[in-house]
Chains A and B, each alone.
Chain A
Amino acid sequence: MSELQVKSLFASGHTACAGCGQSIAARLVINAAGSNTIIANNTGCLEVFTTKYPESAWRVPWVHSLFENAAAVASGIEAALIFQGKKDKISVIAQAGDGGTADIGMQALSGIWERKHDVLAICYDNEAYENTGIQRSGLTPYGASTTTSPSGAQSFGNPKLKKPMPEIANAHGIAYVATASVGFPQDLQRKVKKALSIKGPKYLQIHVPCPLGWGYPSSLTYQIAKLAVGTGLYPLIEYENGMLIGVRKISSKSVEEYLKPQRRFRHIINNPDELAKIQEIANNNIKKYNLVAEGN
């Protein structure tokens, strides 16, 4: 059955912006996970645009507590389900934005990984604190101009590299770690299902372009998402028990193609030195993960 025929577990009518990558990804995730799922959600855009009282987009049990604690809340849900003898039938997801995952929620997340809770942690990576007005997070990419890492006479935007969350997750010795992109919906859903088929902690980081925060026309979300992967800037990788088991091969487009439509990189486009630095980030990923398909 196609997804349209079955009732989506994520109802329409929520208040996300046009072209919001996160809302598309969230729907793909829950529909792949199925109705026997309980979600704990951090504060952030997703929580705000899906649960403005008295309406909710969620047709599964869903709880939002705070900005930094969804992982800990999820481990409490898991513990309660074990106590009730229901855990085997029910999946638990802890989901958050990049800020809620890599910055303020990092401690709680590290806690559930170390304690080996059977929880899938999902990071919707829109590369900034979008909900509060596009501030820089630990997953904002190098060079991106945000409201707290603005470009200017003395600045080329965010001066730091993305925090290597998949590696940090792997360092905890967890069962499954992967990145995905809203530009590749089937791959994304396959990874959700695979993750949930494995017992123990799992981490899935999904690249979700944000038209408002990144400054591109809302019709381009898929193209932007695909370009991030296609340039090597957002490698789609998959690990089981710390072993790299899969990468999505690319034809290695120039990063300029990805950066150009986005206002957050406007100051980079005409600066060959900065452009070269970002190309080098992509090149390093390509080398590290062997991203380019043979024969290309």
Chain B
Amino acid sequence: MKEFLEGSQAIAKVVSLCRPGVISAYPITPQTHIVEGLAQLVADGKLDSQFINVESEHSAASLVLGGSATGVRVYTATSAQGLFLMAEVLFNIAGMRLPVVLTCANRAMSAPISIWNDQQDSVSLRDSGLIQFYAENNQEAVDLHLIAYRLAEDKDVMLPAMVCIDGYILTHGIETVDMPTQEEVDKFLPRYQPPYNLDVDHPLTLGFLADPDYYMETRFAIQETYKEIVKFMPQLFEQFSSAFGRSYNFVEKYHLEDADKVIVAMGSVCGTIKDVVDELRKKGKRVGLLKIMVLRPFPNQQICNALKGISRIAVLDRALSLGSIAPLASEIKASFFGKKKAPKIISSFIAGLGGRDITKDSIKEIFRQLNQKEITGNFIDLKPELLQAPLETTLGNRSF
């Protein structure tokens, strides 16, 4: 049914349709509306779930770890500082092969403290073992939660999954969303049947100490699982499409057929890029967009196939790897290494950090700069007046 909803409310609703038995979270902007929504659903008797307010994100993640280990579907959500307080636990959840699902309402990392959007938080956890999805709009945010649970709980996967949605832009944005019914969700996502869990009738030891004779194989096993995920995800996307009529893939190709300049990006900025592509195409420019929907597993093959033969690529990162090439750009470049039909130019651009708007002009500027010379890490929309000031003020440290 079509509903006009705030992103957070839409996510709360779809999560409740997934019937998690244990929910735990800690307040942090811009995530908070999601769990407030779930708290209200539980309070109103519309969702049968143990909703537990904890004293930190570390405990929220630990609590859902315990719930998942006991064999119950669980949910948590967070942002930025909260995600990093969870980080230790999230690596642990992945290593223990527990299908926890969480939402990351993307927010910039402190310092300076900022409650506004970029993707530094989730992107920095790309090595944690979490499956990572990125939504362009609230419909995708809703749908990706259903896909996340299905994938995470698959017996051949058993890994945590994180759905990343741009803070404020999506969490607080009000859009029309086609909300699935409970029956549809129950059919697509049956009750969780844990392949292993803490059960007094079948004692299980979970969380061993592994010495050098054993540790490496456990990590290898996760790596192998990721290869399998890449192979059978298309099937899952297919099933989703026949259940709900909306089609997704690792990547979305927007006007790539004859394109000679393409931007690669993740998340809500893709909406703006599509508008710009439409405008420029009307003027006869051969431009396009490749939207990355899944960062882990990283879909190298799909990306290479989509971009092969295109001469100039701009990768737009809303995160940095300070001291090196921006994360997405670096992975895309690596994907093409040694490939015959690699683009001539893969330039890297950084925009929208700490909530700075990425406007249509910002996107046009990227297309403009995407010419014969490869660029590594150009920041778009920097303010020259701030850069001329002493470094001290640029850093945000000032004495008065």
Contact = CB atoms under 8 A, between A and B. Distances in A.
Interface string A104-145: 000110110011000000000000000000000000000000
B62 A72 contact: yes
Contact of A84 (B62, B70, B210): B70
Contact of A61 (B55, B72, B203): B203
Interface in B184-223: 198-200, 202-211, 214
| Interface range on chain A (Cβ under 8 Å from partner) | 35 or more
B180 interface: no
Given A65-B96, A80-B71, A108-B62, A75 B207 contact: no
A73 interface: yes
Contacts of A277: none
A76 B51 CA distance: 10
A52 B198 contact: no
Select the residue from B65, B96, B199, B200 with max chain A CB neighbours within 10 A: B200
A279 interface: no
A56 B208 contact: yes
A83 B21 contact: yes
A90 B70 CA distance: 12
Nearest to B51: A79
B228 interface: no
Contacts of B68: 76, 80
B205 A108 contact: no
Contact of A74 (B22, B53, B66): B66
B59 interface: yes
B54 interface: yes
Contact of A52 (B24, B60, B96, B209): B209
B207 A72 contact: no
B64 interface: yes
A85 B48 CA distance: 12
Interface of A: 35-38, 40-41, 47-48, 51-54, 56, 58-66, 68-69, 71-84, 89-90, 107-108, 110-111, 114-115
Interface of B: 21-22, 24, 48-50, 52-56, 58-60, 62-72, 74, 88-89, 92, 96, 198-200, 202-211, 214
22 contacts: A35-B200, A37-B200, A41-B207, A51-B209, A53-B214, A61-B199, A61-B200, A61-B205, A62-B203, A65-B62, A65-B65, A65-B66, A65-B92, A69-B58, A72-B62, A75-B52, A76-B52, A76-B62, A76-B74, A79-B72, A107-B59, A108-B55
